[in-house]
Amino acid sequence: NTMADTGRTRAYHLQLLDKIKARPVTPIEVLGDNFDILKAPSSMTMDRQRQSWHWFLFLIAKKRIVDYKLQNDCPKADIMTLETSSWLLTPQEVQSYQDNIDFHVANVLVKYLKFLNSYADYIPPYISHAHIKESSQRSEVLNAELIDAPENSATGIITILKRLNQLVVPYTRGDNAEVIERVVLGGDVLTNERAFSGQAALQNADNENDSCTGIIHRPEGLHRLMNFLMVTFL
C-alpha cells in the first residue's frame, strides 16, 4: 500500500506540474539586503551605550523580460562537463561590453563637465538592444517584508532563507515536497555569499522544501558588472 500511495502521490504531482506549466503565473524575483540601524550617543555612560538593530528587507519584483519558450525544468547543460573555454567571452561580447562602458563614461562626462555640456546632443539617449520596449517599462515592485533577523549570522541567514522559502517558492504537498518553480534571490555579492552558505547548511534536509532548494542566488546587475569591471581593468 505504501508503494501504491507513493506512486499515486507522484502521479498527482506530475499532473499538477503540467497544469502549472500550461498556465504560467507572473514570473517574479526577490531582491533583498540587510537593513541596519546604529544608535550612538554623543557621550556614552553606563546607561547610555551604543545600540544596534539588524533586519533583512526584501522586495518582490515582477520580471519584465521573460522568454516562455526557454525550458525551466532542466539545466541547459551539465556544468561538470562544460569546457572551461565556454565560460570565456567571445571577441564580439568583449567589444560590446567595452562599447557600453564607453557609452556610460561619455554620458557622465558630458553631464558633469561644463566644457563638455555642448556635446550632450551627440550622445545616444540609451543603448539599443532587443528588449528596449520591455526594459523601458516602469518596474513593478512590492515591499514585501522586513524580517527580524541579521544576515551576518548563521542562524540569522537560515531564518531569512526559510521565511523567503515559505513566502515565495511554490512546492508540491506532502512529506517529499518538490520545487514547482524556483525563485531568484538578487542582492549584493556579500548577501548572496551568506545566503549560499546558509543553503549549504540545509542540504541534508529531508526534502527540497526543508532544504530551501527553490531559491537561486544571483548578484544584482550593478554588483556583477562592477566585479567584472575590476577584474577587467585591475
In whole angstroms, give the CA distance from residue 26 to residue 63.
8
Express as a percent the part of the chain with pLDDT over 90.
23
Which is higher by pLDDT, 45 or 15?
45
- Condensed to tens digits (0 to 9), the pLDDT of residues 155-193 reads 999 999 999 999 888 888 778 888 888 888 888 888 888
Q: Residue 10 pLDDT more than 70?
A: no
pLDDT number for residue 161: 93
* One-letter amino acid for residue 7 of the chain: G
30, 186 Cβ separation under 8 angstroms? yes
HSE at residue 19, side-chain half, CA atoms within 13 A, is 7
pLDDT number for residue 50: 87
Q: What's the chain's average pLDDT? A: 82
- Condensed to tens digits (0 to 9), the pLDDT of residues 195-224 reads 999 999 998 988 889 999 899 888 776 555
Which is higher by pLDDT, 131 or 92?
92
pLDDT number for residue 232: 59
What integer is the mean pLDDT of 69-79?
Answer: 68
pLDDT number for residue 40: 86
Choice among 68-77, 101-110, 183-192, 199-208 with the minimum mean pLDDT: 68-77
pTM above 0.85, yes or no: no
pLDDT number for residue 180: 83
User: Strand 183-187 to strand 141-147: parallel, antiparallel, or no bridges (unpaired)?
Assistant: unpaired
What integer is the mean pLDDT of 64-75?
Answer: 69
198, 152 Cβ separation under 8 angstroms? no
H helix intervals, the chain: 2-22, 91-112, 132-135, 154-168, 189-201, 221-233
Which is higher by pLDDT, 223 or 14?
14
Binned at pLDDT 50, 70 and 90, residue 12 comes out as low
What integer is the mean pLDDT of 15-37?
Answer: 73
Express as a percent the part of the chain with pLDDT over 70.
80
C-alpha cell at 44: 556614552
What integer is the mean pLDDT of 73-87?
Answer: 75
Which is higher by pLDDT, 9 or 155?
155
Torsion angle defined by CA atoms of residues 149, 150, 151 and 152, in that order, rounded to the nearest 10 degrees: -150
pLDDT number for residue 201: 93
In whole angstroms, give the CA distance from residue 232 to residue 229.
5
